[in-house]
Amino acid sequence: LQKSLNETFGADKYSEARKEVLTNMFSRPMQMALYFCTGVLEDETLFRHYALNVPFYTHFTSPIRRYADIIVHRLLSASLGSSSPIKMEKEAIQRQADHCNDRKMASKRVQELSADLFFAIFVRVRA
């Protein structure tokens, strides 16, 4: 995809902006990852990472970025015996995961609307 975009848009001063807009538009339909508590899901096939083709997968970043990452760090630390188990029931963890998913979806929607607005301005100015 990136090679096609590079060949199509050349190297003028707006080519990078056009590539960014199209790359953003192409990636929108991709399914977003969702947070969930494995203890409340019966179907282990939901733990799978499609693109990596692995049956069990978790992902987290630095715990300073997102609350969900803090929870994952705490659970991982407890499972490795480095800390005591967190005092949350699995249903409470799932409620936190649902809340994080809701906030992540809302943030993504605002980001998309912002991109749409700036794209409209870009097109209007260039017309």
The one-digit pLDDT tens for each residue of the chain (127 residues) are 567 766 776 677 777 777 777 777 776 666 677 888 888 888 888 788 777 788 888 877 777 778 888 888 888 899 999 999 889 999 999 999 999 999 989 998 998 899 889 889 988 888 6
pLDDT given at position 30: 62
In a domain, 118, yes or no: yes
* Predicted local confidence at residue 89, as pLDDT: 92
46 in any annotated domain: yes
Task: State the residue range of the domain holding 74.
Answer: 31-126
- pTM exceeding 0.75: no
Domain membership of residue 103 (yes or no) is yes
Total count of domains within the chain: 1
69, 61 contact by CB (below 8 A): yes
Q: Is residue 25 part of a domain?
A: no
Is 23 domain-assigned? no
Nearest CA-CA partner of 60 in 43, 75, 39, 40: 75
> Does residue 87 sit within a domain?
yes
* Residue 93 amino acid letter: I
